A and B are shown apart, each in its own frame.
Chain A
Amino acid sequence: MKAVVCCTGESRIRPDRAELANVLKKDQNSAASACEKLLAAFPEGIRACAYGCLGGGSCEQVCRCHAIHISENGTARVDEEKCAGCGRCVKACPQHLIRLFPSEDSIRVLCSGRDPGKTARTVCGASCIGCGICEKNCPAGAIHVVDNCAQIDTSRCISCGMCAVKCPRGVIHDRDGIFTAE
């Protein structure tokens, strides 16, 4: 299994960096993780999209393989070569953005937003709008729109790439970079 962060971080971060840093500095002794603190301070999340990555790095902290890092746009990214699929990061993410995919599955929905289409479109440039085109085209009945966001049933997915090719928002990615850019 491989951990995948289902958020590209395209959605704009609202607070400025200093504000975020302040939150993280507070309560050094608290048991709460960085992301939990951020979420406590910003219950609506830190991005225009309430469901986006907080960038606090709680996942990074628990990863024993050094496989997950916060990238330049403040979003967690997994180096799948290093990922052992233990699932610690999945538990650490208070936004529930990280999912485990079978190593051989290359197709993933990189969005976890639950906003309805119209809102989703305005808050993020790479959001699932729940249009269902993927669901309609999936030959295996493996992808479904649940709470306004497409979700892949990995037990059925055959990684054919049809959903990635058809997705009008480019939110379904191919790890191997064949059906979509990596």
Chain B
Amino acid sequence: MEYTFTVNGIQRRTGENKPLLRYLRDDLHLYSAKDGCSEGACGTCTVLVNGRAVKACVLTTALAAGKNIITVEGLSLREKEAFVYAFGSRGAVQCGFCIPGMVMAGKALIDRNPDPTEEEVKTAIRGNVCRCTGYKKIIEGIMAAAAVLRGDEQITDLEEGKDYRVGSKAFRVDVRRKVLGYGKYPDDIGPEYFVGEGSARAEAIEKELRKKSGRDIRLHVWNNVPNPDDIGCNAHMVVPADMPPMAYASAVRSEYPRARVLKIDTSRAQALPGVIGVLTKKDVPVKKVGHIQQDWDVMIGEGEITHFVGDALCLITAESPYILQQARKMVKVEYEVLEPVRGIEEARAENAPKVHESGNICQSRHVVRGNAREALKNSAYTATGTFRTPFTEHAFLEPEAAVSLPYKNGVKVLSSDQGAFDSRREILHMFGWDKEPDRVVVENQLVGGGFGGKEDVSVQHLSALAAYKYGRPVKMVLTRQESINFHPKRHAMLGTFTLGCDRDGHFTGLDCEINFDTGAYASLCGPVLERACTHSVGPYNYQNTDIRGYGYYTNNPPAGAFRGFGVCQSEFALESLINELAEKTGLSPWEIRYRNAVRPGQVLPNGQIADVSTAVRECLEAVKPYFDANEGHAGVSCAMKNAGVGVGLPDAGRARLKIENGTVVIYSAASDIGQGCLTVFCQDVAEATGLTLSRILNGIANTENSPDSGTTSGSRQTLLTGEAVRGAAFLLRDAMLAEEIAERHNAESEDKISFVDVLKKSDAYLHPRRAGNRTAEYGVGVQNAPEYDSYGFVSPALQIREDGLIWDSGTGLNQGRYGLRGTQTEIFGAPVKDPEKIIEKLEGSEFYYEYFEPTDKLGASRPNPKSHIAYAYAANVAVLDGEGRVTDIYAAYDAGKVVNPLSIQGQIEGGVLMSMGYALTEDFPLKDCVPQAKFGTLGLLRAPQIPSIHAMYVEKQELLGVSYGAKGVGEITTIPAAPAIAGAYYAFDGKMRYVLPLEDTWYSKKK
């Protein structure tokens, strides 16, 4: 049987009946159609079939026969440009994984209806899930694309980034490759990238397989090397000519959350033609990995007990995904099923089975300040409640994927994670190469969303193990259900909180016990629990706290980092109690918060002094009119969230700028998981140098060519790496000014000098007004602490190489003490006059900067320890209609200086919708520790369900002296909406709700 259909205008024929998505991706290498679930739930594979938006994973090649199929690649040039401009100018693109599907759903609508309304767009994309944007900007993007295609709106030169300074509405750097779908997520690296001599070997295997099976089995399409123009951001990927063909790996995982594995029989799978090998625990050099605590079994061996249903028992590597699937079914495992530990209560019960030998308490924290017991005893009013919140699935649109290949004397891992250096560390540890860090290179591709769920290794280490073992490139992709079952969730909480206040509503003290279910492994339990504890007090001014936190091992899927990092749980509880106290004191919920909101100079409940930028009161003021206007059916909530890892850890931002081909290339291993930090870095460079985006690029960052800039976690990239980029860009700017001075000098004088000469004599040239007897020390290889000159300049180490200049700020020394650093104009009286011309003179130079600001450990003995570099603050107001539906959320955020207004709105809208899902619809039911939800039944909000989200940002005059004053908004966006919604229901029906998702609401009734 042959099926014929048209794809992007070309007639195609296939004898195989399989999902159309597999045909488009595997046979035609059309990678714009993404594989987000292969269950029909997510919409990332949406294509046009006879003009209708259809999910390519549902339709089969047989059903497609005779039909006309269009993917993003097949759009007309006019349509492509319209969507790129529309989505970029409206800020619709974040991680980008849903975007090609959104484009096709949008096109199907626009073809039928050239001038759609907002409601019509929402309906058209109701089958397409976006986890980043909150849909609002995508809806605006589709409407803008329609306007462009109608001729009502003209495409401007916004994408060129002529004004890309800090504070401008920057068109993100990754819009084009994400909208047109040529940007590469790891799953988009197909076998066609590895066409070398090995292909002959693969063909021989193919022949053998055909002979044995009597079927037409094809492993790869060999002669379809994609057009280099389409490869986009991965054009750099040079594969040695003798690289063998790509293989595919998948793990067989435990059927039971807790069972003794008696026997793993892989013999039948091993014998299947096309199976390269099956690895078990004995093939793993070091058996346990872990982001912080090394407790995570890479595989479970015979005789051992499993910890959850995601535990790998063996890893199969095969020539094709098809053979892999067959082989998986052939592995026979015998178990002795044991009673699992289902939750916190069971974990702490006497005689509870031990999930790990160390016992069931994974982590604990005790945070004390003042005397909470005494304070509560003497309080006029107290409120107590026991709160329960569920596990939450990140539901990033891109399931975990990695491609590993043999590289030098180790492996290179093309990955999708939140920190290349974190993944490298864990992979090195598994190989036992802790002391040989260069043997593993990790390079991040595009990341289709993370939200904390991609901080731990999932497929990276296993694909690396297979690649190293077999000397082959190995791709490993989790299926959606595997992803849901495997990766760490937001911790489920069971917590009892007591908050007190005096007669005037001033908070007196907080006592609470927070219990987290951290599931099978620690993941990031320690820091998440700690943040839950330290933030459970809220952004208020009171000094008596007694907070006990416990993280319990159970046989549930692990819990770890999730946007909000423990604070979503504890602030839901705290803010709910504040509503109760408001009632007791007779104050409005807004007033009681305003009375207590911390002001600059006051002491936060953790002892840290609130810095000048603190603007929680301003946030409350911003939402007050909306709260007042909707009294009786509105709720209000505040939040605070740290930026930067803090708590005494060596958390640094690092960046290296290189001048290549007249362009500033930014090298920094900092994962852009969709939040847009790569764009922020370009803006930081543009601001410092006056260059336009045409002269600024993000380099392909890997652990080999870029400095470690930490994990994308703790809302830290805009602040920490942003500051490192800014520092390096200031060094570059100084060199540019030096070059300008040299040119001026050379025009008038006989003795010719270069910018390096100017830099060596620094002050004399750079600060002519202050020239005199001071000259900063620049020297080769300066290792000691740098001097700060009166302008707050660091004296970096200057090296002159044949291919240019290397200017290195040194390591770990810049402790944020250069508050005097200002804009070019402030320091020099004038900016670089012709930056485009000057930059070419600096070809080959490098500028390196590291930003590290020490913080104090939890429980440090100083009276006012500094736990974090910065805190962001927020206030949200949620409004219900007469039926109890959320109609509006007014969301005000203090994130310091807004670097990109477009991006911050998108972050806020997406975070607020995530928080609304947490409040009302999202759940993660487990039955005897086995996840019951599919992607489509997690309760993710879809476009037609969204309320009006009014994103507001409060920008104060007083800002922090780093990163142009930006504080990072990534996580705080997800915190306050859930308690604000709970508060709205409390006002609406007087019922206090202690459980998430909230019970007895319009949303729960619908179920």
**What is A's interface to B at a CB cutoff of 8 Å?**
104, 106, 137-141, 155, 158-162, 165, 176-179
Contact = CB atoms under 8 A, between A and B. Distances in A.
Interface in B33-49: 37, 39-41, 43, 49
A155 B1006 contact: yes
Contacts of B937: 139-141
Nearest to B46: A160
A178 B67 contact: yes
A160 B58 contact: yes
Nearest to B1006: A155
B127 A160 contact: yes
B180 to A, nearest CB: 24
Given A139-B935, A140-B937, A141-B936, A161 B39 contact: no
Given A141-B937, A178-B67, A160 B55 contact: yes
Nearest to B64: A178
B52 interface: yes
Given A160-B55, A178-B49, 12 more contacts: A104-B123, A137-B40, A139-B37, A140-B936, A141-B937, A158-B936, A160-B40, A161-B58, A165-B60, A176-B52, A177-B50, A178-B54
Contacts of A139: 37, 39-41, 934-937
Given A139-B37, A160-B55, A178-B54, A165 B936 contact: no
Most buried by A among B37, B58, B937: B58
Interface in B95-145: 123-124, 126-127
A165 B934 CA distance: 19
Contacts of B1006: 155
B63 A165 contact: yes
15 contacts: A104-B123, A104-B124, A141-B934, A158-B41, A161-B58, A162-B40, A176-B50, A176-B52, A177-B50, A178-B49, A178-B54, A179-B54, A179-B58, A179-B59, A179-B63
Contacts of B67: 178
A170 to B, nearest CB: 12
A151 to B, nearest CB: 16
Main secondary structure of the interface of B (DSSP, over half): loop
B63 A178 contact: yes
Interface of B: 37, 39-41, 43, 49-50, 52, 54-55, 58-60, 63, 67, 123-124, 126-127, 934-937, 942, 1006
Given A139-B936, A141-B937, A178 B59 contact: yes
Nearest to A158: B127
A72 to B, nearest CB: 26
Contacts of B936: 138-141, 158
A138 B43 CA distance: 14
A164 to B, nearest CB: 8
B58 A165 contact: yes
Contacts of A176: 50, 52
Contacts of A178: 49-50, 52, 54, 59, 63, 67
B941 to A, nearest CB: 13
A158 B58 contact: no
B516 to A, nearest CB: 28
Contacts of A161: 40, 54-55, 58-59
Contacts of A160: 40-41, 55, 58, 127
A179 B67 CA distance: 11
A165 B63 CA distance: 9
Nearest to A164: B58
B493 to A, nearest CB: 26
Nearest to A106: B52
A53 B960 CA distance: 74
Q: Which 10 A-B pairs have CB atoms at the shortest separation, nearest pair first?
A: A139-B41, A139-B936, A160-B40, A158-B127, A162-B40, A139-B39, A140-B936, A141-B937, A139-B40, A161-B58
